[in-house]
A and B are shown apart, each in its own frame.
Chain A
Amino acid sequence: MGAIATIANRDLKSFFVSFKGSVTFCFLLLLMGIFFRSFAATFLEIQAQTLQTGGEAPKLSQLLTAIFQNLHFILLFIVPAITMSSFAEERKTQVDRLLQTAPISSIQIVMGKFFASAGVLGLVLMASIVYPLFLFKYGNPEIGPIVTSYLGIFLLMCAQVAFGIWVSSMVSHQFLAYLFTSFGLFLLLILAWVAPNISGGGASEEFVKYLAATPHLDNFFAGLISVADLGYFFAFIGLFLFFTNVAVDAKRWS
């Protein structure tokens, strides 16, 4: 555990030392702020209209879904920027030999890199807590769906990071890592929408839909935590961390 924390801590600090890191952090935080501001304004507008005209008032889960699904789209560009240098850059500059010659296992290296990137995104989420706090200032929203939405989006981020560091461990240039990660995450995003077109319907369509990340977030945005959704994200993270470990080990002993 010591080595994992050491690697994660160094990479996390190093991220914020770089210009790229600070810009990425601020950019994501700013976009989240814009989403909160604009969707909350729309939400309040619709709420006011329904009070006057009658009809069904908008639900908090709808607001959270709108905010976080849009954020999901932005993450396609942000997560690869964070994970691309995990392995690719160190391999290019041969700094990876520092870890390779230290008395630590591949899985410790992989976990250290994973926690560093997940930590960056976790810090963005922590900083963004200020946005939902405004909802409490002007209204009385349920806290449950907000907490579960945050949990859902953090699990999504972790899954994306696991995928991103796997790609970074496979290629030797961080630009390629960025491109492949973005493309992979985009496929994961649209899988649920294109499932009817790429599968023969029935069970295979359901299976393709299950692989997509988006449907697994809906419960979290509605304030529900299901074992199936948690299982999906943990399995996804575990699988890609395993792949990364295999790739790092294979490169070490090739």
Chain B
Amino acid sequence: MIEVVGLQKSFGNIVALSDISFKVAKGQIVGFLGANGAGKTTTMDILCGCIGADAGTAKIAGFEISEDPIEVKRKIGYLPDEPPLHREMQVGEFLTYAGKLHGLRGDRLTVRVADLIERLELGSNKKRLIGQLSKGYRQRVGLAQALIHDPEVLILDEPTEGLDPHQILQIREMIRGLKGHHTILFSSHILSEVESVCDQLIIVDKGKVVEQGTHNELILRLDGAREYHVRVRQGALALAEELKTDFGQLSRITVKEDEQLVSFMSKEGDEILDLVARRVLDRGYGLKELAGKSKKLEDVFFQITR
């Protein structure tokens, strides 16, 4: 549904995107993950036709954005990080305006506006001015605006940014509810959010796509450097020194002396636990705990973008 190949974009001397390529299949919710300034918003702006790319192609439902911008815009609903709302308009009036811009008229428009107001629970605020709404409700109006023409592709740029925890949960629930009917590209720098909402992840760093896959695929792919903990009854410091000198395959060995805890990274797989356990027992450190840390998205993200 979305196919991006070799997208590049510079603003003056600043390179925003150096090589963005990815594919998103129909009906998926895909997380677009990256630190601030990684190139998420620039990529989304290009996909939506707000700005042009210096090089590369971006196709939405088979239409190339620079060749068929109007057709692409019919297929896309976009909620930028700052929702584009006219604050002096009432909620219902604004959604009607947004619908008309997308060519909806008559009963079809009335029904669509009423449906979105109900689905996004905006009924009590229908007659209120957008400028008087809380940020959470403004975000809902922004989402309704993006959905007004029932687009095949929905692009959401950090939709929960600046909301309180309750509002964040509500917006996430709404996005989950859109799954299946829409293909959703969802950007965020909040890892737990992407993990909880998305089927697939695209990780961008310094204007490049550095990884793409499901959460499990990414973890498996990067599991070569899994983190382990060993807790002993005594001599954690000495054990750490021994591991450093005798076990060349280990890296990032750290020790918390007060907890008698040694942590290390290994690419050898779980077999390393046998060797470490044997060493702990042979030297009489006293084994209390030995475990491989379950890898989280945070670990993948930091490992990739380090």
Contacts and interface: CB of A to CB of B under 8 A. Distances in A.
Contacts of A105: 70
Nearest to A5: B100
Interface string A80-107: 0000000000000111111111111100
A121 to B, nearest CB: 20
- Majority SS of interface residues in chain A? helix
B98 A98 contact: yes
Nearest to A97: B84
Nearest to A253: B52
Interface string A1-41: 01100110010001001100000000000000000000000
Nearest to A100: B50
Given A14-B88, A18-B88, A104 B82 contact: no
B103 A96 contact: no
Interface residues of A, number: 24
Interface in B68-127: 70-71, 73-74, 76, 78, 80, 82, 84-86, 88-89, 97-98, 100-103, 105
B80 A3 contact: no
Given A2-B105, A18-B88, A103-B74, A98 B145 contact: yes
Interface residues of B, number: 27
A252 interface: yes
B70 A103 contact: yes
A53 interface: no
B51 interface: yes
A197 interface: no
A220 B134 CA distance: 53
Contact of B103 (A18, A99, A103, A253): A103
6 contacts: A95-B84, A95-B86, A97-B80, A100-B48, A101-B78, A105-B70
Q: Which 3 A-B pairs have the closest CB atoms?
A: A253-B52, A98-B84, A102-B101
